[in-house]
Amino acid sequence: MAFYRDRQLTHLTSSISVFAITIGLVVGQSATQKSLAQTSTTPAPSGVTSINGAGGGSINTLFVGTGTTSPYAPQGSWFNTYGVGNPTTLNPPGPVNPLVTFRYAAINSSVGVTAFFTQTPPPATGATINPPVSFADTDDPITGTEKLSTGSNTGTPIQVPVITYGVALAYNPTGLNVTGGIKLSRATYLGIFNGTITNWNDAKIKADNGGRVISAVSKPIVVVRRSDNSANTFTLSSNLKAAFGATWNRGVGEISIAQAGGISNPLPANTVVWPANFQFASGSKGVATKIKTTAGAIGYVDNSTRLANSLQAAVLQNKAGTYNPISPTSIRNAFVGATDQDASPRRIKLVVTDPTAANAYPLVSASYLLFYDKYANVKVANGIKGFIGWALGTTAADNIATARGYAPLPAAIKTLSKGVVNTYVNDALNP
């Protein structure tokens, strides 16, 4: 069972099972990521409680890290700073809490949400976690009033944002004049992803860059999009829908979950129908790799993946008409004044599809953690509360996030998230 967010153009893609999606994403991960995932089934050290989760890959560099060097290395990431590292050599001096360890499989948001609601770990494809599933991460907030009535963890799901991030339009500069970077107006990046602007020598791109010629000869734009269910697709398409309405006619989808028999079932999302000539890859890592190896390519990846792969990013025009490069500062500026859009006291939802601030980056999203109301093991509940208090309440956690290309939540939203977790995450059902 899968929770569909953005179903793609081909019948092949839309019929991919959770198992196949998972295989594709694991193949696209770096050796270090796969190693971490494969060792996440090892027993926790004696006296240490394991808190296991799965979900989106856009948060992976923050939770467990990628590669071997700072700032993307596993050592010093959020989970390996707060809890006992897996292995312990991944801990910096510490850990903050020696009584817990966090194990995370960066599969994809929809698979992580499925694992959470079914309380069943993801398929055994090299990125598995041991039961019980303690949390999930999703970059696309859930909706509805579903409850969990099966398994050892029960109650109404808790959802809180923990970090914000930007989706970069990353490109391969081979054969292009990129001195000073490349600017893209709203109308131009709409045209690129609609398939109506197809060459780097297009007059609109030249105009965006003050008359500077990006390509003096014909140079086709090779667009790389996601082939799997992707919150990055949701972020990009939501922005284009908010900015251009019916002019963006390729669709936008969102996770929606219905309750049936104690286990949630997926409701189909709308379809993003890409031009047939677009190239595609699975996972942010897969998109980044294809961009790096394709001259004149452009595609969308989260900012942390972009930085980890040393990709250049276009400077985008926002709603106010100004151009801002993607950075933790411009991402944070997009969320200034953002408020909770979910009526449930157990869930927080941030909706920033087309930020209005002049200093804001336009393609932004938040990443959410899902928790249970009642945990069978009070040590897990207490470990979660401690982690959220640290992640959303310390300068050290903010510095780790910023170094990896993310932007901390606004202070008011941090306070809300901590309050929801402290109120509702427990070893007893809450009213």
Within a domain: 339: no
Quick one: average pLDDT of 211-226?
96
Within a domain: 429: no
Asked if residue 164 has pLDDT above 80, the reply is yes
Q: pLDDT tens digits, residue range 41-84?
A: 778 889 999 999 998 888 989 999 887 788 888 899 999 999 99
Specify the pLDDT at position 417. 98
What domain count does the chain have?
A: 2
Q: Cis check for the bond before 98: say yes or no (omega within 30 of 0).
A: no
Amino acid identity for residue 209 in this structure: N
Quick one: average pLDDT of 28-33?
38
Given 279, 300, 328, the domain boundary residue is 328
Q: pLDDT tens digits, residue range 182-195?
A: 999 999 999 999 99
Given 282, 310, 328, the domain boundary residue is 328
Within a domain: 398: yes
Same domain? For 146 and 173 the reply is no
Within a domain: 156: yes
Distance CA 274, CA 62 (A): 30
The neighbour count for residue 247, using CB atoms within 10 Å, is 12
DSSP assignment of 173-226 equals -TTS--TT--EE-HHHHHHHHHTS--BTT-HHHHHHTTT--S-SS--B-EEEEE
Same domain? For 155 and 176 the reply is no
Domain that holds residue 160: 11-165+365-424
Rg (CA), the chain: 21
Q: 349 or 58: whose pLDDT is higher?
A: 349
Model confidence band, residue 419 (pLDDT cutoffs 50, 70, 90): very high
Are 238 and 314 within 8 A, CB to CB?
no
How deeply is 51 buried, as exposed, middle or buried, from its count of CB atoms within 10 A (0-12, 13-18, 19+)?
A: buried
Specify the pLDDT at position 146. 66
Q: 125 or 346: whose pLDDT is higher?
A: 346
Same domain? For 179 and 316 the reply is yes
In this structure, what are the phi and psi dihedrals at residue 55, rounded to the nearest 5 degrees? Answer: 160, -145
The b-or-e profile of 316-325 (16+ CB within 10 A means b, else e) is: bbbbeeebbe
Specify the pLDDT at position 127. 60
Specify the pLDDT at position 148. 73
Going by their DSSP bridges, the two strands 279-281 and 312-313 should be labelled as: unpaired
Within a domain: 292: yes
Same domain? For 316 and 369 the reply is no
Q: Cis check for the bond before 74: say yes or no (omega within 30 of 0).
A: no
Specify the pLDDT at position 93. 87
Asked if residue 27 has pLDDT above 60, the reply is no
What is the share, in percent, of the chain residues with pLDDT greater than 70? 84
Specify the pLDDT at position 56. 86
Same domain? For 150 and 251 the reply is no
**Whole-number Cα distances in Å, 9 to 233, 268, 278:** 13, 15, 10
Lowest mean pLDDT among 23-27, 167-171, 315-319: 23-27
Q: Which of 195, 186, 309 is nearest to 243 (CA)?
A: 186
Same domain? For 313 and 207 the reply is yes
Distance CA 363, CA 341 (A): 18
Are 132 and 337 within 8 A, CB to CB?
no
How deeply is 56 buried, as exposed, middle or buried, from its count of CB atoms within 10 A (0-12, 13-18, 19+)?
A: buried
CA-based max dimension of the chain: 67
The neighbour count for residue 32, using CB atoms within 10 Å, is 16
DSSP character at residue 407: B
Same domain? For 197 and 68 the reply is no
Within a domain: 343: no
Same domain? For 185 and 204 the reply is yes
The neighbour count for residue 333, using CB atoms within 10 Å, is 19
| Token pair in block for residue 237 | 């398409």
Residue in the structure block whose two tokens are 């908010």: 242
Are 51 and 100 within 8 A, CB to CB?
yes
Asked if residue 200 has pLDDT above 50, the reply is yes
> 64: helix, coil or strand?
coil
Lowest mean pLDDT among 49-53, 138-142, 197-201, 276-280: 138-142
Q: CATH number, domain at 216?
A: 3.40.190.10
Within a domain: 338: no
Q: pLDDT tens digits, residue range 373-397?
A: 999 999 999 999 999 999 999 999 9
Angle among Cα 345, 406, 205 to the nearest 5 degrees reads: 115
Q: pLDDT tens digits, residue range 93-108?
A: 889 999 999 999 888 7
Measured in whole angstroms, how far is the alpha carbon of residue 397 from the centre of its chain?
18
Same domain? For 413 and 311 the reply is no
Same domain? For 263 and 372 the reply is no
Spatial CB neighbours of 396, under 8 Å, sequence gap ≥ 6: 81, 390
Given 304, 328, 352, the domain boundary residue is 328
pTM listed for this prediction:
0.86
Quick one: average pLDDT of 226-246?
89
Distance CA 263, CA 280 (A): 32
Same domain? For 151 and 219 the reply is no
> 139: helix, coil or strand?
coil
DSSP assignment of 303-352 equals HHHHHHTT-EEPEEE-TTS-EE---HHHHHHHTTT------STTB-----
Within a domain: 99: yes
Same domain? For 161 and 176 the reply is no
How deeply is 246 buried, as exposed, middle or buried, from its count of CB atoms within 10 A (0-12, 13-18, 19+)?
A: exposed
Distance CA 108, CA 115 (A): 11
